[in-house]
Amino acid sequence: MKEMTRRNFLKVAGAGATVAGLGLVGCSGGDSGSTDDGGSADDGGSEGGSVEGLTVAFIPKVTGNAFFESANTGAQSYAEGWGFTVDYQGSSTASVADQVSVINQAVANGADAICISTVDANGVSEALQSATDAGVVVTTWDSDANPSDRTLMVSQGTPEVLAQMLIDMSIDGLKQRGVDPENDEITYVWHYSQATVTDQNSWQVAAEAIIDEKYPNWNNVHENYYSNQDAEQAITVGEAILDAYPDIDLIICNDSTALPGQCQAAENRGYTQDTITITGFASPQSIRDYCANGTIYNWGLWDCAVQGAMGCYVAAYLAAGNTVKVGDTISIPEIGDVTVEENASIAEGVETADENNGVVILPERLVFTSENMDDYDF
């Protein structure tokens, strides 16, 4: 599992896979900075104990989703080598009440740390504060909590980077079917999970700013559509979009449940990549058949296995008594060196505490097409 997205990566990159953002630090196959006892060397922080023997409660937005299940598989695989336990706890329903219950149960079970992708930052705030008060370290990944309610966040990228990625994929898909995205009138909508999900909402807001500035010929024809990370609802919402706007040019699904649902809705209504452009974020294998069918031209993601593992590692690292501040380097065995950045790197204007607070950004993002989708097994 540790090789799931790195397998043949150099070959894929040479064949046309698009990598947006920084270099491949987070995908190093070596053990840069690792120590023999499962801890890691850092640059500027205070060294505490080993991560070995600790327990991290790994909480997704929702279970049963390919993205989160793949992240758990990766986290479990890495944690086995690191010597600590990842306890994957979640609900099949993406609801605040269910996440609060899971957080409380993790604390009651004696977890040393929690690593969570939040459904609603404000909705789980009190529960995360209670966990911290009980001595449980809180980290986040994928979808952030309020920065004051956690220590470190492992982010897939800044809103601006991920927004630009969504726009670039949209442009490529439009051009693929002979549409001129710079001069033709482009009608589009957004379809994703919930307005309260911090990550997806921030990407949509940042993308709208790019569209406003660079593509005045694009027309958002409806307020955002939401399908609450429910697979069946994603299909019915997708069909509703197509029924309401049968000639729409572009649907952007920055959510790993909405995208396959929208593709299925397109197939149900007889659309192909030659008659509509659909793009967004999802695991390669969850979209593979739709791409093979000619329904979608491209879509993107990042190595969710590495991201989930990183979130769990930094949780265990801080729970072991290590401390970090902005600018420090954490060397994660088998993954590589990562740098702690300010919270403002992903949330404008948000302050960062002097110690054990900040953001670690996943360096790599990928675009999938029919040419490279089979090189990834998640």
Per residue in 284-299, pLDDT tens? 999 999 999 999 999 9
- On average, the pLDDT of the chain sits at 89
User: How far out from the chain centre does Cα 117 lie?
Assistant: 9
pLDDT band at 25 (very low <50, low <70, confident <90, very high): very low
Interval 136-166: pLDDT, tens: 999 999 999 999 999 999 999 999 999 999 9
Q: Quick one: the chain helix, strand, coil %, rounded to 5?
A: 40, 20, 45
Q: In the prediction, which pLDDT does 6 show?
A: 30
Q: Mean pLDDT throughout 87-112? A: 97
Interval 307-319: pLDDT, tens: 999 999 999 999 9
Q: Mean pLDDT throughout 52-56? A: 98
- Strand arrangement of the beta sheet that strand 113-116 belongs to: 85-88, 55-59, 113-116, 137-141, 152-155, 358-361
User: How far out from the chain centre does Cα 169 lie?
Assistant: 17
Q: In the prediction, which pLDDT does 348 show?
A: 86
Q: In the prediction, which pLDDT does 22 show?
A: 26
pLDDT band at 41 (very low <50, low <70, confident <90, very high): very low
Question: Residue 262 burial (CB < 10 Å; 0-12/13-18/19+)?
Answer: buried
- Residue 186 CA to residue 189 CA, distance in Å, equals 10
- pLDDT above 50 for 31: no
- Residue 333 CA to residue 32 CA, distance in Å, equals 6
Q: In the prediction, which pLDDT does 154 show?
A: 98
Q: In the prediction, which pLDDT does 377 show?
A: 81
Q: In the prediction, which pLDDT does 364 show?
A: 83
Alpha helices (runs of H) in the chain, residue ranges in sequence order? 9-15, 66-82, 96-108, 125-133, 159-176, 198-214, 231-244, 258-268, 284-292, 304-319
User: Do 33 and 92 touch, CB atoms closer than 8 A?
Assistant: no
Q: In the prediction, which pLDDT does 244 show?
A: 98
- Residue 245 CA to residue 249 CA, distance in Å, equals 9
Q: In the prediction, which pLDDT does 228 show?
A: 96
